[in-house]
Amino acid sequence: MRGPPLTEAEVKRYGRHLVLPEIGAEGQSKLRASSVLVVGVGGLGVPAAVQLASAGVGRIGLLDGDTVEASNLQRQFIFSEADVGRKKVEIAAERLRQVNPNARVATYDVRLGSDNALDFIGEYDVVVDATDNLPSRYLISDACVMLSKPDVYASAQAFEGQVSVFYSPLGPCYRCIYPAPPPPESVRSCEETGVMSAVPSVLGTLQAIQAVALILQRGSPLVGRLLVFNALDSSFDEVKIRKSGSCAACGPEATLTALIDYEEFCNVRPRPESKVDVTPVELKAMLDAGAPVTLLDVREPYEHSICHLDGAVLVPLGSLVRGAAKLDRSKRLVAYCHTGVRSRTAVEFLRKAGFSDVMNLKGGIEAWAEEVEPTMPRY
């Protein structure tokens, strides 16, 4: 649907598009009449949303329930120090309207879930998956399959990332590649692994390019192809991906007919607190009282070098099978990592290995810095 002719102001704004035969006035009108939902206003979502607004996409939805944190500023370039603590979607909408006053920006300060995904996604032509966790990726992919919507996917960590378009029935969905999620302890977050500041911008921009290509129906979007980017050697590689005949979501005998509990499916539902956990304040009290405690740091050496608890023994989680033999079983062990996820896995392993008095620092060293030692360097 083209809609009314472009205005004089639009002709001036989009002039560099209009001279492109692949876009022209007709394509620009298509962009103006289109809508894109960006799920996640972070390292991927920020550049994707800015590029979509600049391109002239008429309606952009921003869905994210988070507030801006200081650690976001390294890569989420539309936020500033003054925005810390404010809602991401509110600030992003303000900035997008400054980029292009013609864009109609809708904000959703919520978390996408099985109870609302079909409603939100159903309102838009294209979905940009700019999330950073497995439950959301499965949820968005499944919902897009059910609604026959294109899912423009990307992920970024460290110095590399990948992007693809999952669009059933034209090509595979996310489940075709990953029919089952990996063990939660094997998946490390961007917070734990780090990410070079410009890498998400490259991937998010590629997502915007894919969304525009889908709207214009021009070129060859990455349906059935996974584009892999490596910033260390400035390379792009492409991997062919195919629909799975046994896919539960988009296969010929699909068994997934409704959205499910994705945290349960990915085995990442927060576990109830138990005596396994010790809070930073409780641990400090133990140490101040001179209790015989061995602090076990299960992070990687580079993390330990940034900050650590005094006297902690460094045994990375991947080396714990061998390193456990050197630990003193006569003392209480308190394991910690960055946020408490890896250390919980370490505690479970050590208890099965016969250590009777092992505890997990709830919230990890991040919580320790927040509650006990605010001058500690953080990452």
Give the residue numbers marked as catalytic: 190, 337
Q: Report which residue type is found at 159.
A: F
Crossing angle of helices 199-216 and 24-33, rounded to 10°: 110
| Under 8 Å between Cβ of 122 and 114 | no
User: What does R_g of the chain's alpha carbons equal in angstroms?
Assistant: 23
| Under 8 Å between Cβ of 138 and 266 | yes
Q: Is residue 61 within a helix (H) or strand (E), and if so which, with residue range?
A: strand 59-63
Measured CA to CA, the distance from residue 26 to residue 353 in angstroms comes to 67
Tokens of 50: 């800015």
Scan for tokens 């408490």, then name that residue: 340
**Smallest Cα–Cα separation from 125: which of 51, 221, 171, 57?**
57
Torsion of CA 62, 29, 222, 36, to 10 degrees: 10
Measured CA to CA, the distance from residue 322 to residue 307 in angstroms comes to 24
Measured CA to CA, the distance from residue 45 to residue 75 in angstroms comes to 11
Measured CA to CA, the distance from residue 302 to residue 316 in angstroms comes to 11
Contacts (Cβ under 8 Å, ≥6 apart) of 324: 315, 349, 350, 353, 355
What is the DSSP secondary structure assignment for residue 180, as one 8-state letter? S
| Under 8 Å between Cβ of 332 and 357 | yes
Tokens of 43: 């390292």
Strand partners, 104: 59
| Under 8 Å between Cβ of 78 and 50 | yes
